[in-house]
Amino acid sequence: MTAAAAAWDRFSDLYLTHDELGISVDVSRVKFEVADLEALIPKMNDALTAMQKLEAGAIANPDEQRMVGHYWLRAAEMAPDPNLSAAIVQTETAIRQFAERVHSGQLEGSAGKFRNLVVVGIGGSALGPQFVAQALGKSGDAMKVHFIDNTDPRGIDDVLASLKGELGRTLVVVVSKSGGTPETRNGMLEVQRAFSAGGLPFHRHAVAITQFGSKLHATAVDEKWIEVFPMWDWVGGRTSVMSAVGLLPMALQGLDTAGFLKGAAQMDEWTRLLEPLRNPASLLALMWYQATGGKGLKDMVVLPYKDRLLLFSRYLQQLVMESLGKEFDRQGNKVEQGIAVYGNKGSTDQHAYVQQLRDGVPNFFVTFVRVLTDRDGPSLEVEPGVTSGDYLDGLLLGTREALAEKGRDTITLTLREVTPSAVGALIALYERTVGLYAELIDINAYHQPGVEAGKKAAAGMLALQQRLVAELNESPRSAAELADAIGEPNRVEAAFQILTHLSANPDRGVLCEAMDSPSATRFRAG
Amino acid sequence: MTAAAAAWDRFSDLYLTHDELGISVDVSRVKFEVADLEALIPKMNDALTAMQKLEAGAIANPDEQRMVGHYWLRAAEMAPDPNLSAAIVQTETAIRQFAERVHSGQLEGSAGKFRNLVVVGIGGSALGPQFVAQALGKSGDAMKVHFIDNTDPRGIDDVLASLKGELGRTLVVVVSKSGGTPETRNGMLEVQRAFSAGGLPFHRHAVAITQFGSKLHATAVDEKWIEVFPMWDWVGGRTSVMSAVGLLPMALQGLDTAGFLKGAAQMDEWTRLLEPLRNPASLLALMWYQATGGKGLKDMVVLPYKDRLLLFSRYLQQLVMESLGKEFDRQGNKVEQGIAVYGNKGSTDQHAYVQQLRDGVPNFFVTFVRVLTDRDGPSLEVEPGVTSGDYLDGLLLGTREALAEKGRDTITLTLREVTPSAVGALIALYERTVGLYAELIDINAYHQPGVEAGKKAAAGMLALQQRLVAELNESPRSAAELADAIGEPNRVEAAFQILTHLSANPDRGVLCEAMDSPSATRFRAG
């Protein structure tokens, strides 16, 4: 048999496809023999069993004593408690009805029918909605969606400036599971101020998505916001796009939430298959293990050849890296796990960094995402018999060849079309792949203990700022002198950084002299 | 001396700052002692000398027999030939005058004053302009800028849909150095068709930026486009943002090109300093070497804490990875060099993958980009004495601490403000850092030989497509049968992929039966 015939057989044998979803998975270009996987298969069978327990309501996130229920969001009947099932169904219905009231104008803003939507949220409360809005949105949607996903004052001002004169027809959805995320709280307060400044009643424009009983819930009730939609403790932020967090913005934008959920449910069914090499999620997880040595030795480069899927790699950065990037395994051994994810879109990235992928450091594997349908309607021929879409697909296939020639591993996912169903299915595929891979490497994929350290250190910085500002007077003093004066001689550098920031903002009352060297720099009130 | 006092001394000693540019560089949180660098310093001195020769017009890109002249774009008098100096100055003047004619309405579209700009370009012809447009643009700019940076039909349709009814007031700038980039040619043809479909004369809306004598140049002249601006062979695509490629879109958008160029020129002056530890570009290059072992052993995570700098990491992906990602060094040794770059923005990414950075695989170093000025005008207090901007800065400083605790290396660049000058300076800083680092590892940073392979393979796919389509008839045949029929028995998989793509698009006349297994799938004309 020739090498090409062997490659075709390998491709055909390993190929998985789901006709109704229009999704197929090809791992033939990852270097492995089925025999190599033998040691992993028993582990994968255990992982599939663990996933069954998780779906049945086990405490799969023991550190936080929580169930992991995002699979129920698209199959409410699977939830282990009829109250949960009912809550899921009721929330979906409430979202659909709410969007109808907004679209019909029955519910309107202080200046008329709502036509703009601002989602205030960060991390899991933004990345999913952003990915979906871009993948499925189009000009002419029911509402134009904007995101405030940071505590950057200039960034917030830019979003608000783009809504100049439109606030009276703008609906604001504030999303925070805990209700205590400071970036989101700050974004909400800044938006609220813009409404006040325009003489508009914020509460008539505001909706919250949060856990019942949270601070945000209390605010929304106190201030008589239009509505509060629930988040649940058994849905993690990075898997919340099929809860109200993702569904409400989608429905308001006019996108097909039912199709989105159905695609995910179909993918869930497919990925429950107990045959590790015929289940696309377990196959992908095995490939991740094979490509990265089960230790994150290689980066995952995600290259969708479709503009609408540009944000998919950002979405996966969170889903994969926050889930897998853990210091300890579940036995308490220090393992420093994870897989780094990056990528934008092809063929654009071929003109950016594919040079390095082909010729440079071989520290990655590629996942191509291919979309077969080029556009609605017929295409122009840019050369006789050739369209722009033929070029796009040819460039993907050509790059896949060029990487194979150099021994770089590639996986190819093919979608028939970027539909709500396909996007839902894609998300579901990766959610389960991450879960199964986490079982293989024995880590808790559902907590994020490392995020706390940065938050605590930030709170420490703000507390230090307050004390420094209180200490400042009209005499210029160095960072070292000021740190000493407040009894924090070990925090000179932090004092310097904080005061430098304040002094760059004229409204903060801090003056700075002699910037050439940090130790020579003096600060005073003024 | 306490550890904190030693850290403060180290911070102060290593700190570099440029008061007029408002930029400082801190490498104190990279693990190294100055003594560790001793072996590298002579190499860096050689690199600085090589850079002097490059700036004087040496053939620094020997594989393509080209000078490397992007530094002259902001210091025309340095160009080694007065004709080049004159061309640089004349082009800048022509761009300024052209933008004035557009803004004043002296030059207008077929439906009136131009208010929309579509830039058609990819890679170096898009990433720089996109980064600058987002970093410096605001609502209310002279023109609203759109980019077509791919050959994705749906992506092109989406841009055109957002311009519905506006084409008559839209200026199209087509950017291709060689004039032969197929993605750009396709984008141009698609846009041209949209103008024709609307009964609008494309040539009255079209401007080219290209090398004189290119195919695109000929098209523009033949069709009587409004104007052609030059590209030169001594400017590489990834360093072209200060040529017409970047300056024309900036000027049309209404941004300050002179400030942008001046900032770059000032950074160039600073980074010509022949003291390796006082020159910020050579200091950064030494840190890259230190952090990555001079072999790309770690990824560069770029985290600007400012929404407007979101695209900086994408810009750097190209600049760094396409420049450094090389198979062979200049002596012909196989080295597989490069540094992988990724990142989006803080504090948003803290809610995505900073979990992995702190706890997971330690395969990276971080570059924070900090911006001191929060916004125009005073800030709301979100808590007594605390603003949204204090949170943003506190989160950066806190994360920097949290990463240091775990021994992760971080670099911090601080900008006083995101101005045209600062953005120009930032780009210039990285251009020179890449050039100096390339000298340290002895590679040619100015060519991209690996990009060709993917292009050639793509062309092969399109040629194969033509033959397959010609072979199809009404009898269903498998990919293997069709590949055999055209005498390409080794290209069965490629045939399958190509025909699958065509059959998903109803206008292409290819029907597909039985999709379950690739070998069972049959294709026919229809």
Residue B5, in any domain of the structure: no
Q: What is the pLDDT of residue A56?
A: 96
* CA–CA distance, A179 with A393 (Å, rounded to integer): 44
Distance from B360 to chain A by nearest Cα, in Å?
A: 4
Contact B395 A326 (CB under 8 A): no
Chain-chain contact of A296 with B360 (C-beta, under 8 angstroms):
yes
Same domain, yes or no: B438 and B462 = no
User: Are B520 and B514 in contact, with CB atoms under 8 Å apart?
Assistant: yes
A423 and A460 in a single domain? The answer is no
Q: What does the DSSP 8-state code read for residue B27?
A: -
**Residue whose pair of structure tokens reads 């023991």 in the numeric block:** A62
Predicted pLDDT at B199: 97
* Domain match, B266 and B414 both: yes
Looking at the predicted structure, is the pLDDT value of residue B514 above 90?
A: no
In a shared domain, residues B239 and B217: yes
Per the residue annotation, which of B224, B406, B455, B456 is the catalytic one? B455
Give the full edge-to-edge strand order of the sheet including B116-120: B144-148, B116-120, B170-175, B206-211, B227-231
* Domain contains B108: yes
Interchain CB distance below 8 Å, A391 and B458: yes
Question: Rounded to an integer, what is the distance from CA A448 to the centroid of its chain?
Answer: 14
Residue B127 has pLDDT above 90, yes or no: yes
**CB-CB neighbors (< 8 A) of B11 in chain A:** 493, 496, 518
Q: pLDDT-derived band of residue B287, with 50, 70 and 90 as boundaries?
A: very high
User: Rounded to whole angstroms, how far apart are CA atoms A429 and B437?
Assistant: 41
Residue B442 lies in a domain: yes
Last-in-domain residue among A447, A462, A487: A447
| Closest listed residue to residue A126, CA positions, set A151, A100, A152, A147 | A147
A vs B, Cβ pairs < 8 A, gives 515
| pLDDT for residue B455 | 84
Residues of B in contact with A489 (CB under 8 A): 2, 4-5
Candidates B151, B389, B397; nearest CB to A505? B389
The total domain count for chain B is 3
- What's the DSSP call for residue B476? -
Which of A181, A321, A398 is closest, CB to CB, to B455? A398
Interface touch A389/B305, C-beta < 8 Å: no
What is d(CA A481, CA A288) in angstroms, rounded to the nearest whole number?
Answer: 53
d(CA B183, CA B226): 22
Contact A397 B306 (CB under 8 A): no
* Chain A residues inside the 8 Å CB shell of B138: 158, 161
> How far is it, in rounded angstroms, from Cα B365 to Cα B404?
11
Pair (A267, A411) in one structural domain: yes
Best interface-test mutation with B: which of A12, A356, A379 has the largest number of B CBs within 10 A? A356
Distance, CA of A521 to CA of A511 (rounded, Å): 10
- pLDDT higher at B109 or B139: B109
Lowest mean pLDDT among A70-74, B5-9, B176-180, B299-303: B176-180
Mutate to test the interface with B, among A365, A397, A484 (most CBs of B within 10 A): A397
For residue B398, the chain A residues in CB contact (below 8 A) are 454-461
Tell me, yes or no, whether B176 and B275 share the same domain: no
B322 among known catalytic residues: yes
Structure tokens at B108: 């207008």
Does a structural domain hold residue B7?
no
Q: B417 to chain A: which residues are within 8 Å by CB?
A: 504
Higher pLDDT, A360 or B1: A360
Same domain, A341 and A405: yes
The CA-atom distances, in angstroms, between A264 and each of A268, A427, B295, B331, B375 are 6, 7, 42, 53, 42
Mean pLDDT value across residues B496-523: 93
Q: Tens digit of pLDDT for each residue in B228-239?
A: 999 999 999 999
pLDDT single digits (tens) A458-507 = 999 999 999 999 999 999 999 999 999 999 999 999 999 999 999 999 99
State whether B144 and B166 are in the same domain. yes
> Where a domain ends, among A205, A230, A255?
A255
Q: Which CATH number characterizes residue B166's domain?
A: 3.40.50.10490
Per-residue pLDDT at B263: 98
**What pLDDT does A103 receive?**
98
DSSP result, A424-487: HHHHHHHHHHHHHHHHHTT--TT--HHHHHHHHHHHHHHHHHHHHHHH--SS-EEHHHHHHHTT
- What is the C-alpha to C-alpha distance for residues A216 and B135, in angstroms, rounded to an integer? 32
Same structural domain for residues A348 and A443?
yes
The 10 Å Cβ neighbour count of residue B59 is 14
**What pLDDT does A491 receive?**
96
Distance CA B138, CA A162 (A): 8
Give the domain-ending residue among B399, B428, B447. B447
At residue B62's C-alpha, the angle toward residues B60 and B63, to 5°, is 135
pLDDT on residue B30: 98
Strand A170-175 versus strand A227-231 pairing type: unpaired
Residue A3 lies in a domain: no
Residue A161 CB neighbours (<10 A): 12
For residue A347, say if its preceding peptide bond is cis, omega within 30 degrees of 0.
yes
What residues in A contact B140, CB-CB < 8 Å? 161
Q: Residue B329 in contact with residue B443, Cβ under 8 Å?
A: yes
Residues 6+ positions from A444 with CB-CB distance below 8 Å: A61, A62, A63, A326, A330, A438
Q: Which of A150, A388, A449 sits opposite B190 (nearest CB)?
A: A388
Catalytic residue among B322, B431, B439, B471: B322
Q: Does some domain include residue A126?
A: yes
Report residues of chain A scoring pLDDT below 70: 515
Facing B379 at nearest CB: one of A124, A450, A507: A507
Query: Do A251 and A267 have their domain in common?
Result: no
The answer to whether position A167 is within a domain reads yes
pLDDT at B125 over 80: yes
Which of A12, A162, A456 is nearest residue B517 as measured by Cβ atoms? A12
Name the packing angle between helices A182-197 and B388-405 (round to 10°). 170
What residues of A are labeled active site?
322, 351, 455
Structure token pair of residue B258: 């002179």
Amino acid sitting at position A407: G
Domain residue limits at B207: 70-255
Q: Is residue A2 a part of any domain in this protein?
A: no
**Same domain as A202, residue A304:** no
Nearest CA in chain B to A457: B398
Q: Are residues B121 and B229 in the same domain?
A: yes
Two tokens, residue A16 = 């998985």
| Spatial distance between the Cα atoms of A406 and A423, rounded to a whole number of angstroms | 31
Residue A7 is nearest to which of B339, B399, B493, comparing CB atoms?
B493
Task: Decide if B504 and A299 are in contact by the 8 Å CB cutoff.
Answer: no
| Min Cα separation A83/chain B (Å) | 30
Q: How many CB atoms lie within 10 A of CB B134?
A: 16
Element (H, E) at A209: strand A206-211
Comparing CA positions, the residue from B72, B14, B8 lying closest to residue B276 is B14
Token pair belonging to B31: 């693990």
